[in-house]
A and B are shown apart, each in its own frame.
Chain A
Amino acid sequence: MRRLARLAIPALSLSLLVGCASQEASGPSPARTSAAAPEPSPDPSSPGTSPGRYDYTFRLPIAEYSYTDAEYEVIRSAEQVLARDCMKGFGLTYRPPESSAPVAAQDRRYGITDLDSARRYGYRMPPLPAAPKAKLTKDQITVLYGKRSLENGADDRAKLEYRGKEVPDNGCLGKAILDFRKPYEYREGSAAASRIAGDSYEASLSAPKVQAAFKEWSTCMKQKGYDYPSPVDAIQSPSFLKGKVSAKERETAAADVACKRSTGLLETWFETESAIQKDMIKKDVTLLRKLDELHGKKLRAARKILAEA
């Protein structure tokens, strides 16, 4: 099965490629576990390869047809190699930025699920470490980014040239991304997968089992002094979208997660949506298989680029 093969991401070769020693050397930290479950998971799978207990999105059936974060990183690294080769054609060196360190997953498909995060950040997204950026000279920026390197307000009608050679509009990086995507692009397949993932979510919201679980959750919240019909309403409360996180928001968010756990809402929701997706997938399985095949081909091509870099 392709998925199993794809799980063995050569993270090591990536870090070799980009000379990413600092993050690797910093020792174990929560940020290194891309699929970190907030609590010890009974699943002994190795971190960063398998979805954790609270990663609902990537345990749903449609996830089979999606790239993972780690796979996106492989593709991104390959694009950087292609960009580097393009830069060479302009007589410029280019050392791609380090790979981003994997971050703890924040799966909000069913709202917040991590008690620790709820207590610290309420309903807000936890802060992300800034992505590593390459240090570039002005010439490198011009060729790497093309017209995006222009100063605010510059005239962009003329073709951009570097030492007499025309620079691609999107620069070497943009060209690398677009050229590498083209042979593997399958818009119909992507559209079908995206539609299923959205439709199943929407259908789950009104499924009787999920509705009943929302009611139980709401009752649990009421007992703690909070009045929301569903977690979807709680997370979108206007006061939780602006200003600073208040103590009240943190308490509400913690109660939200606690009630999700005590009522079994998350499992119910996940099981219900899984069943909905399975039916939907059957109808579009031909498109989805082709999409999966192309994803596999693109990943193999990316790994080949990295191996030969």
Chain B
Amino acid sequence: MKASRKVLSAAIAIPAAAVAVLGMAPMAHAEARATCPDWEKDCAVFYYNSNKQGSRTAFTHDGVSNLAGYTFLSSGAGKGLPVKNNAASFWNASVDSIATVFYHSNYDGACDTFAPLADTDRLAKTYNENASFDFDRRGDNCYKWD
């Protein structure tokens, strides 16, 4: 696990060392950016502060089984700090996919599923306990509040 890997630039594609390869869909690896690009239909955004404020990181293409090594990328409070167990709010900017945030790494523990284009001002217990997330995890038995 390249847990110490630092993300240096705001718009860099992260190599997939820490990313689980899931599903029978074409192999994809998560990419991290400061902002959801227009051309991505699926994008999940973690924010350092509540109410979708502060620095953020937008993930596309695939989920991440362990968010260790990813940092907040956009300018704002929290920039450069780790995303793992450190995000206060979340937006599933996807139009086609649900997105699920898990308390522990490896999609373990309490979890919340977010409908397409749903967000939360405050990640409740995954508040500062967001360790992994995934897109389109049907049948994941996570709660769906919105």
In contact, B106 and A235 (Cβ under 8 angstroms): yes
A198 and B115 form a contact (CB under 8 A): no
Q: CA of A75 to CA of B38 in the docked complex: distance in angstroms?
A: 25
A133 to chain B minimum Cβ distance, whole angstroms, is 8
**CB-defined contacts of A57 to chain B, threshold 8 Å:** 141-143
Cβ–Cβ contact B103 & A198, under 8 A: yes
Contact status A156-B38, CB under 8 Å: yes
B24, CB-defined interface residue at 8 Å = yes
Are A150 and B106 neighbours in the complex by a CB distance under 8 Å?
Answer: no
Contacts of B103 in A (CB 8 A): 198, 201-202
How distant is B31 from chain A, measured CB to nearest CB, in Å?
12
Within 8 A of B (CB), among A66-114: 66-69, 71-72, 75, 100, 102-109, 111
Q: A170-B95, A195-B124 are in contact. Are A241 and B116 (CB under 8 A)?
A: no
B66 in the interface (beta carbon within 8 A): yes
Measured CA separation A130–B135 after assembly (Å):
12
Q: Which of A103, A194, A199 contacts B112 (CB 8 A)?
A: A194
Query: What are the residues of chain B within 8 A of A105 when measuring CB–CB?
Result: 139-141
Chain A residues within 8 Å of B131, by CB: 236
A128 with B17, Cβ < 8 A, contacts A151-B39, A236-B105 known:
no
Q: How many A-B residue pairs have CB under 8 A?
A: 188
Q: Does B138 contact A (CB under 8 A)?
A: yes
Chain B 114-132 against A: per-residue CB contact (8 Å), 1 yes, 0 no?
Answer: 0111101111111101010
When distances are taken between beta carbons in the complex, the residues of chain A under 8 Å from B122 are 191
Chain B interface residue count, Cβ-Cβ cutoff 8 angstroms: 57
**CA separation between A58 and B131, bound complex, in Å?**
22
How far, in Å, is A196 (CB) from chain B's closest CB?
Answer: 8
Beyond A148-B95, A151-B39, A174-B117, whether A242 also contacts B17 by CB under 8 A is yes
Interface residues of A in 188-212 (CB under 8 A from B): 189-191, 193-195, 197-199, 201-202
Distance in Å: Cβ of A106 to nearest Cβ of chain B: 6
| Contact residues in A for B40 (Cβ distance below 8 Å) | 148
**Neighbour of A72 across the interface among B98, B109, B120, CB < 8 A:** B98
Closest Cβ of chain B: how far from A241's Cβ, in Å? 5
9 nearest A-B pairs in the assembled complex, by CB-CB distance: A198-B125, A201-B110, A194-B124, A190-B145, A103-B139, A107-B141, A195-B124, A66-B143, A67-B144
Residues of A within 8 A of B (CB): 34, 55-58, 62-63, 65-69, 71-72, 75, 100, 102-109, 111, 123-125, 127-131, 145, 147-152, 154, 156, 170-171, 173-174, 177-178, 181, 185, 187, 189-191, 193-195, 197-199, 201-202, 232, 235-236, 238, 240-242, 291
